Each structure stands twice: as structure tokens, then as C-alpha cells.
Structure 1
């Protein structure tokens, strides 16, 4: 397929920033707030911009249509693996910790960060969906832009990368590979356009970055006197809808 290379180049470029950032320290040290690094915003900002431009650009709309047509011509069977894979990257953080591979933060801090990122991402995606009025490729609804599944997956991939970047960048690479696969399957299953996926990926990455930057403020404001926490993080499915459930006790 002539456009598959374009898809892979656009999506897998997301993983390159893992190695670009490896030598830079974004750790939350001694409760100090992090200063955003402009270079770390280039990829998510570019992806979001690509998606927004695609709302009006005839060329990008034609590219979206070409990709949809090529996928429709060559793919007969749909796979709903993206309904599960969107949660895999961030759940991997908790799984690795349970297996004894400790990340950057304890349960309390990483859950506050994840909850913050999820709130930012969810609020952003749902607000834009309600106002963008973009029809899905399968014609089922007009809330295609941006892709929530992809945003969730890339939010988790960045979360996994940040927690384990000092141990090995390959954890982040694996997370981004899963997130990229999630984005691809959203197009494969005729649920999203390439521009939806690109914007979702950018929103997901940016949401996690913001969550890490503001974490010291949130922790000091709401959790300063709470030393320990127990709880669980898990996706839920009620037969029609899927989401994230976070339960904590202090």
C-alpha cells in the first residue's frame, strides 16, 4: 500500500523523542516543580497541529480518504484489540512495579500523576469531540476528532517512558510501539482518520508531560500531609463503554 510508509513514518517518529530525551533529566527531585523544556513539546505540538490543519486542508483530507480506501480494499476482518491495547502502556507501570521492577515514583505519586494526566487528556479530547463535528470513517457518528483510544495509549506510553527512562529507554519504546499499534488499529477498524490519530497521540503525550510538570504543586496542595496511599488502577467495561477506574485510600 503506497500510503503505509507515510503512516508508519508519522506514527513511529513518536518513538524517536525517547532517545532524544534520555540524556536530559526530567526527574521530580525533592518536590521541586519541573521547568517545561520547549524541545520536548515539538513532537506533540506538531502532531496536534497536523490534526488541526487536517480539519480544513483538502490535501490532508484526500490523504485521509486514500488511506481509508486502501485499508478497505485490503482488509476484510476487523480486530478490536485497540479497545484493550489503549490501556496496556500505563497498566504496564503497575505490573512492572508488582513484579519488583521499581520505577521513578511510589504508588501514591505515580497514581496522582496518572490521574492528572488522564483528567487533562479526557477533558481535552471530550471537549474537542463535542465541538469539532467530524464524521467517523464508518459514518457511525460525528465525534471522530481526535481519537480518544490513541490519546489514552500515548498518554500511557509517555507515562511508562517517564517512569522507567532511567532504567532503560526500551520500556518506553515498547510502550510507544503498543500505542502506535493502537492508533493503526483505529484506522484499520474504520473508526478514525489519520488526522484523528495524530492529534490524539499529541494530546496524550502532552497531557502526561503536563501532569509531571504540575505534580509538585498538586502534591503540595492536596496531598502534602498524606505520607502513604493504597489503591488500584484498572480499566472497566460495562458492555457498551470502556474507561479507567482509580481507587485510592490514604
Structure 2
């Protein structure tokens, strides 16, 4: 039994579809509305935060077992890389979707919304950090900021010039989120919630700016997109799953050795040269831990050798996956 949370970066270059029924023009249904389009990914991330709340300590145990001394604070700086890229591209004369003045207004609204939501929840929920230093862990401010900045780059350049900007932006944001966990500053539920808040903040910031500026401040739409997404279905995907054992042999706690909740983490991407041929890679690992706290050793001499069983994650790395 499993629940899968998938974060997929994709774009659709088709214009809004209009259906004609009985000579009456009917706009797209609710699920294709703008409100749903801008909130679907944040809602999935927030749902993932809720779903992983009960297993966040299990994820922490995995970090403590394999990377207990990880202390590389790149996440303090990488969170700003996407927004710095926007300003650098503008300074170099590479135009984004909007003129810099309008883009700054959109970004300002996004930043105010993000900071307000994050700090309000932080000091209301008062969740203790994994390292026990403070009680403002949930949600992750670094992650919210990084995904807000990534969505800013995505909207200014990823949707306007090339999806490669979006891939780079969200890769940096994801690396920031992972860094917050590895540096023992946040739980997995914190970073998932932060990512959802960051994306939604930028989307709402742009909605507000669009209502203020309307058609003013936009650059002429480009017609020479070098990567037509509707023809080449390239993508990058972040996957997080959890699993529960169904067999009584694994779930019976009276046996002394029983299965705990397991999880899977994976990152996958593909680059398509044409509509049917592409190349990609996948990195994933799975863990299904066992609990032996109540196990009664028949031979006390065993305790001189080992006092605990450990289950190891299964690591999978696939490269150069060619499909058609």
C-alpha cells in the first residue's frame, strides 16, 4: 500500500481550449481554470507535508545513520540563485517576459505574501527543530524562499524563453530543500510545506501584478522557442512515496520484530530530442525499516555481537535511458 507524491515540472504551450457545444461557446471546465492550474502543485506539496508528518522522524533516522556529520551550508546561499539569475540576465540585456519594473513589483508581492505566511505559521505552530535549537521549524523559510525565487525565474524566463531555465531553477530549489534536512535544521514535512508556500506565493504575486498592470510592461511574445514543449515531452520529476506492510508476518508487533513505515525517494528526468526519442536518468532509494526493540534474544551471547538489527536502503541509479 503506498501513497505517491510527484512534483512534475512541465509546460503546455497550447492556448486555452474552447469547446463549442450546440453553437454555444463554453470555456474550459473548473479543473482547467487558472485557479486550479496555479494551486495544484502547491496543494500536492502541502498534502505531502501532512502525509509525511507521522514518518518525519524515520526520515531523520536515515540521515543520522548515513550522514550524521553533514555540515555544508550551501543552502544559505543557493536559495538566492534563481532570483540572482533573473537580475543577471536582465543586466546582460536578455529580456524576460516582463520589463524589470513590472517583474520587481510581482516579486515584491510574492515576497511579502511568502514571508507573512511562513512567519505566521512558524510562530503559531512552534514545532521544534530536529537539532532541538528552537521551536520555529515548520515550515522551512529557506525552502519557501528558494521555491518562490525558482518560480520567479520560471515565469520570467522558463515560460518565455526556454524550459531549461525552469529546470535549473527548480533543481536549485530542491537542492536547497534537501540541504535543510541534511544540515539537521528541518523535517521533511517542513520543506514540503515550504515548497508549496513558495510556489503559491509567486503565483498569487503575479495574479495581483497582472490585475494592476494588465497588458502594460510585457515584452513581445517570442515565436522562436528553441524547445517546443508540446513536441518534445522533456521533464524533471521529484518522487516521494511511503509504504505500509500488509502481511501479518511483518506487522505483528507481538513477534518482537516487525516492519515500520517505509518510504522511497527518487529524482528522474528525461530530455527528448524529438517527439518519440529521448535520453534520461533516474536516481532513487527505498527504505523499509524493521523494529526490534521488543525482540527477545534466546541466546544472551548474541548481545555481545550486536544489540540491534539494521535494514539498509536499496539504492538505484539508472543513466542513459533511451526511449521511443
TM superposition score normalised by structure 1: 0.72
Pick closer, same or farther for the CA change 1:150–1:24 going to 2, 3 Å.
farther
Secondary structure of 1:142's counterpart equals: coil
Structure 1 match to 2:153: 160
Aligned to 2:244: none
Q: Please tell me whether the aligned partners of residues 113 and 215 of structure 1 are also in contact (alpha carbons under 8 angstroms).
A: yes
Partner of 2:79: 86
Give the superposed CA RMSD.
2.3
Aligned to 1:230: none
Kept after mapping to 1: 8 A contact 2:70/2:182 = no
Normalized per residue, which structure has more helix? 1
- Tell me which structure has the larger Cα radius of gyration: 2
Alpha carbons of 1:115 and 1:129: their partners in 2 closer, same or farther (altered >3 Å)?
A: same
CA contact (8 A) 1:22 1:169 kept: no
Q: 1:149 aligns with which of 139, 142, 153?
A: 142
Gaps of 5+ in 1: 1-5, 26-34, 55-59, 225-250
Match of 2:208 in 1: 214
Where does residue 61 of structure 2 map in the other structure? 69
Distance 1:22 1:162, change over 3 A: farther
- Provide Cα deviations, 1:32-72, integer angstroms capped at 9, x if missing partner: xxx73413311101212332x35xxxxx3442111111111
Higher-RCO chain (CA-CA 8 Å, sequence separation at least 6)? 1
| Distance (whole Å) between structure 1 residues aligned to residue 15 and residue 182 of structure 2 | 36
Go from structure 1 to structure 2 and tell me whether the alpha carbon gap of 1:24 and 1:161 turns closer, same or farther (over 3 Å shift): farther
Which SS does the other structure have where 2:43 is aligned? Answer: helix
1:185 maps onto 2:183 in alignment = no
Q: Provide the rounded CA distance (Å) in 1 between the counterparts of 2:11 and 2:88.
A: 26
In structure 2, distance between residues paired with 1:191 and 1:217: 38
Change (3 A) 1:24 1:171: farther
State the secondary structure of the residue aligned to 1:127: helix
8 Å CA contact 1:149–1:182 kept in 2: the answer is yes
- Alignment partner, residue 202 of structure 1: 196
Residue pair 2:147, 2:198 contacting (<8 A) in 1 also: yes
1:146-200 CA-partner distances (Å, limit 9, x unpaired): 0000000000111100001121011011000000000000000000011100000
User: Could you say which residue in structure 1 is the equivalent of 2:44?
Assistant: 46
State whether residues 148 and 202 of structure 2, in contact with CA within 8 Å, keep that contact through their aligned partners in structure 1.
yes
Task: Give deviations 1:81-109, integer Å, cap 9, x for gaps.
Answer: 11101111111111111122210111111
Tell me, in whole angstroms, the C-alpha distance in 2 between the residues paired with 1:135 and 1:200. 16
Structure (1 or 2) with the greater strand fraction? 2
Q: 1:123 to 1:22 in 2, by over 3 A?
A: farther
Determine the C-alpha separation between the residues in 2 that align with 1:193 and 1:69.
11
SS of the counterpart of 1:143?
A: coil
TM (norm. structure 2) is: 0.56
The aligned length equals 196
CA distance in 2, matches of 1:49, 1:218: 32
Aligned to 1:172: 166
SS state at 1:171 partner: helix
Alignment partner of 1:139 out of 127, 132, 141: 132
Cα separation, 1, equivalents of 2:198 and 2:131: 24
8 Å Cα contact 2:42-2:196 kept in structure 1: yes
**C-alpha contact 1:132 1:143 (8 A) present in aligned 2:** yes
